Amino acid sequence: MSPGSPSSLHPELLAWYRENGRDLPWRRTRDPYAVLVSEVMLQQTQVDRVIPKYEEFLERFPDVGSLARAAAGDVIRAWSPLGYNMRAVRLHRAVQAIVERYGGRFPTDLAEIKSLPGVGDYTAAAVACFALGSQVPTVDTNVRRVLGRVLEGHDDVTPKAARMLAERALPKHRAYEWNQALMDLGATVCVARAPRCHACPFETHCLAAPAFSSGMPRAAESKAAYRTKAFRGSRRYFRGRVVDRLRTLDAGVTLTIPELASTLGAEVEPPGLPWLRDLLAELDRDGLVRVVAADDDAEARVSLP
């Protein structure tokens, strides 16, 4: 097979997907709101962690209207323990925009979906394909990796090049199954660090398979280890710590900045309070906390929005 003829891949992958596709709750619905919730939750979070939270979240906020009406603080509380809390804020803003712009009816045009606050190219395409039946490629990290390896022989495919590969490889009228199949293959077989080429339907076609068989090194391992080590104690780490602490408060309850600092550890004890005030101002601008100023900075009050 040459990189110019991806259509020869269709039968193998679609047959593999019929036998091996994952049974995921968001694949049992064509509700664009539910699909949007799942796609936002799945950003940077493993499937097994998302499943129970997805079901719990939809039970509490079953439709666009219920989520749009909710207080931002309640949405942030309901998001725990997924992390990356800005996702909850962006999702909340997106559904509020659906109510304001479209009267609560989910838009069906890809450009309109993409125009929603916090909705990027991939998420818009995923909702359009998986909920609305649009025949468009959905290029996430897994899809980019699979197509890069199979059709180009390596992982280092640029987002633009991956999009072009995905558009060329998309089978007519089978976008839903094809996109889901590529994601499943990347998540379970053609994984980042130790691909299981012997279990892959593309083994005899993949341009990268010979290199993996000969023990090609995986740079992703060292990068992942570095990111994990660098995260603890970082600004992002304390953003999460602050939001987690405020989540434990009942609605309407606030803390002073010194009270908050005392629960976060020695790193933000005086003289670290100016640093914490700066961090809280950033979180306030992002919509993750509310800071109510006072004449005396020490008496300023902090809560979820």
**Residue the block writes with tokens 């989910």:** 106
Would you please indicate which residues are annotated as catalytic (active-site) residues? 39
**Nearest alpha-carbon partner for 33 in 131, 117, 119, 110:** 131
Give the residue numbers spanning the domain of 192: 9-21+138-213
pLDDT value of residue 98 = 98
Q: Are residues 160 and 177 in the same domain?
A: yes
Q: Could you say which residues of the chain have pLDDT below 50?
A: 1-4, 217, 219-230
pLDDT value of residue 1 = 43
pLDDT value of residue 82 = 95
Answer with the one of 130, 159, 188 that is the final residue of a domain: 130
Answer with the one of 98, 130, 162 that is the final residue of a domain: 130
pLDDT value of residue 251 = 86
Contact 58, 71 (CB under 8 A): no
pLDDT value of residue 278 = 92
Rounded to whole angstroms, the Cα distance separating 263 from 66 reads: 33
CATH code for the domain of 280 = 1.10.10.580
Distances in whole angstroms, Cα of residue 139 to Cα of each of 119, 274, 287: 14, 42, 29
pLDDT value of residue 21 = 96
Answer with the one of 101, 130, 159 that is the final residue of a domain: 130
Domain total of the chain:
3
pLDDT value of residue 230 = 45
Note the pTM of the prediction, 2 decimals: 0.89
pLDDT value of residue 233 = 65
Say which residues have a Cβ less than 8 Å from residue 49's Cβ, sequence separation at least 6: 82
Tokens of 89: 């804020």
Q: Are residues 15 and 152 in the same domain?
A: yes
Rounded to whole angstroms, the Cα distance separating 137 from 6 reads: 14
In a domain, 281, yes or no: yes
